[in-house]
Amino acid sequence: MEKLFSIMNKSMRVLTHIIVWIALLLLFMFMGSNGKIVQKTVVVFVYFGLINITIFYINYLFILPTFLNRKKYLWCAIVILFLLLIASFVKCGLAYYYYDIIIKRDSGKHIMAFWDYFMSAVFVSCLFIFLSAVLKFVTDWFSNEKIKSNLENEKLISELAFLKSQINPHFLFNSLNNIYSLAYQKSEKTPEAILKLSEIMRYMLYESNEDKVALADEIRYLENYIELQKLRFKDNSYIKFEISGEVETQKITPLVLISFVENAFKHGVATDKDVPISILLNIEPGKIFFRTINKKSNQNKDETGGIGLQNVRRRLDLLYKDNYELHIQDKNDIYNCELYLNL
């Protein structure tokens, strides 16, 4: 199918060139003859037009791709000069063959000298070589821009896939540590934690593969994660998760908000009644405000460098560009993340 589309595109380009040249020749014939097709009109605008079109495509299709693209500038200039001389001599030969039509002017009152006609033929040939060079540079520029755009898109897709793939092992590593802690304590909540983790992983593996997911699904994913974290602390956890606004009609890039919540639990204190982990999601049409506030823990340092927030910041740059603002306040005892996101 791709090969068929390529053939169709080439055929359309060829057809477009043919139509443009025919239209130009007919236009000049009509203008030069005041609407009357006579022998002089045919000779000047068809025979000489075909020579100029031939010059155009010899330069466009053969000379420039063969020499200029390979940076053989001297050879390119030599071959173009040779083409100019050959074409101009052919035009002169054709002009003297139609001596009475081309060389004689004003009913024989004015006869062009050979070199005058030769230089005018060189000038016109140069014009068509220039036009073919302009077309070549313009088409090459658009082609290069398209290739560049495709490469950038492929790079973007690859980078996003890599960043997303980092989320799973990073999240899994932290969650398994939590479940290990429950199992080590022989907690009765260990099976429940494993079930929550299973639901979370199912969402990450199967439901978050789209570019955008329902915000309601993302919120359920966050709620499951928070419930999983609460199991670590039994009844001693203090977490506030507040949601306001219309949820059902909004969509969001999956797995963007989780890093902020995960960071709050990993580096925060969830057992302080006076300073609970606070998670706020305010939803408005086409935009959200998301905030996490946590008291900083002195015992839980990220020795691996904290790839979570670096990851999400890079994903926001790639996916939302200028449509988000991320503010992080790292105070002595409090860590505050605020995300303004245009959906």
Pair (65, 198) in one structural domain: no
Same domain, 98 and 219: no
Q: Where are the beta strands (DSSP E) in the chain?
A: 104-105, 110-111, 213-214, 239-244, 251-252, 277-284, 287-295, 324-330, 334-342
Does some domain include residue 324?
yes
Write the pLDDT tens digit of every residue in 256-297.
888 888 888 888 888 888 888 999 999 998 899 999 999 888
Task: Answer whether residue 302 shows pLDDT above 60.
Answer: no
What does the alpha-carbon distance between residue 257 and residue 221 come to, in Å, rounded to a whole number?
10
Do 32 and 138 fall into the same domain? yes
Please tell me whether residue 104 adopts helix, strand or coil conformation.
Answer: strand
Q: Is 171 within a domain?
A: no
Domain of residue 221, CATH code: 3.30.565.10
Same domain, 203 and 329: yes
Compute CA 340 distance to the chain's CA centroid, rounded to the nearest angstrom. Answer: 24
Look at residue 308 and tell me if it is in a domain. Answer: yes
What percentage of residues in the chain have a pLDDT greater than 70?
A: 73
Note whether 122 and 259 are same-domain residues. no
pLDDT digits (tens, 9 = 90+) for 183-219: 877 777 788 888 888 887 788 777 767 778 889 988 9
Do you know the residue count of the chain?
A: 343
What's the predicted TM-score (pTM) here? 0.53
- 219 and 142: one domain? no
Looking at the domain assignment, is residue 53 inside a domain? yes
Q: Are residues 231 and 121 in the same domain?
A: no
CB 239 within 8 A of CB 226: yes
Following CA atoms 131, 133, 135, 141 in sequence, which dihedral angle do they give, to the nearest 10 degrees? -150
Return the pLDDT at 305.
Answer: 41
**DSSP letters spanning 12-49:** HHHHHHHHHHHHHHHHHHHHHHTT---HHHHIIIIIHH
Cβ atoms of 213 and 207 within 8 Å: the answer is: yes
- Please tell me the total count of domains within the chain: 2
**Burial of 291: CB neighbours in 10 Å, binned 0-12, 13-18, 19+:** middle
pLDDT tens, position by position, 228-250: 888 777 677 889 999 998 888 88
17 located within any domain:
yes
Domain hosting 17: range is 2-150
The last residue of one of the domains, among 86, 121, 150, is 150
Residues 6 or more apart whose CB falls under 8 angstroms from that of 281 comprise: 219, 241, 242, 243, 244, 245, 257, 288, 289, 290
Is 166 within a domain? no
Residue 16 lies in a domain: yes
